[in-house]
Amino acid sequence: MKSIKYRIPGLPVVVAAILLISSAGYSQRRSGEAGAGQSGKPRIVVLATAPSGASWTTSMTTAALEDSLTQSGRFELITAAQRDKILSEQGFNNSDLVDPKQATKVGKLLSARYIIIGNALDVSASKRKVPKTGGLGGLLNRGGINSGDEISSEVKSKVQIQMIDAETGVVKLSKSYEEKSSKGSITKSRDENDMMREGYRQAMESIASQFTREIGSSVPVEGLVVFVRGGRVAIDLGSDQSIQVGQEFEIYSEDEPIKNAAGEVLSYVTTKYARLRIAQVEPKLSWATVVETYDENGSPDSQPKLDRIKVNYAVRQIK
């Protein structure tokens, strides 16, 4: 049996660089109207790290995560192409990512709310010769004549994925995965690198889907108010984002930052406007009833005041 392995070094430099890019970027917070992205959804940027000698994994890692997160409908994606284009247009280069003097400028350009880092910890492939069992080759082998072998192979991928809050640097979610991709029909002449690539691609598609499903408990669903009239409120989240009747959302804004003595942003002053309960769900939006509204001090109004709710105000799931 033959085995090929790639392992990756630690990630402190990569994580530090990305946090420098993004921590300042999300300082442009919601204040009445959502400012995360044009859709009101949290903006995310996906990056990947590559094992030594296997830089080919980064494009597959990034593509799988971007596809899965985009299909979830919960985030506004800053693609690698967009990221590179923005930095290039503004005269930045890779060295600026680790330059504290440039971090604020770069971060404001990207405005990422969350950073997703895919880390390929280990990719290994094993191959084993097995006799051909079908057709003329099988008859010859049974007669003791070796007409050639097929290659039974297995690619094992170990991947760690982290979601980092760009404003605080806190790791919101960290998961490690191990996937095996068996290839019983690979021919003897097939290149080992092709086998590794195909196995890793399949593994990453599965891993990315798992990670996206597990985000739910760590990141609240966020969106925008898109319609207000006669007591009816619609938000831009529907069955495509797994919204269900009975779920509750809060209309809110995040205003001035709360900082410590070192200038680190600890949190933001939050203003609540209303609480909604989902009554009807369509693919692209949901209709909600107003459970209660809040005054300037966050206390419930004696009767809901619909004039507190405006189109383009931010909403997030609370129940």
Question: How many degrees, rounded to 5, is the angle at CA 12 between CA 5 and CA 23?
Answer: 130
Residue pLDDT, tens place only, 50-104: 777 778 888 899 999 999 998 887 788 887 777 778 777 877 665 454 344 454 4
Residue pLDDT, tens place only, 93-137: 654 543 444 544 555 567 777 888 888 988 887 776 655 555 544
Report DSSP state, residue 294.
B
189: CB partners within 8 A, 6+ apart? none
Complete domains list, the chain, with CATH: 2-214 (3.40.50.10610), 222-317 (2.40.10.410)
How far apart, in whole angstroms, are the C-alpha atoms of residue 2 and residue 202? Answer: 21
Residue pLDDT, tens place only, 89-102: 877 665 454 344 45
57 phi-psi bin (left φ>0, alpha ψ -120 to 50, beta other): alpha
Q: What do you get for the CA distance between the two ends of the chain, in Å?
A: 53
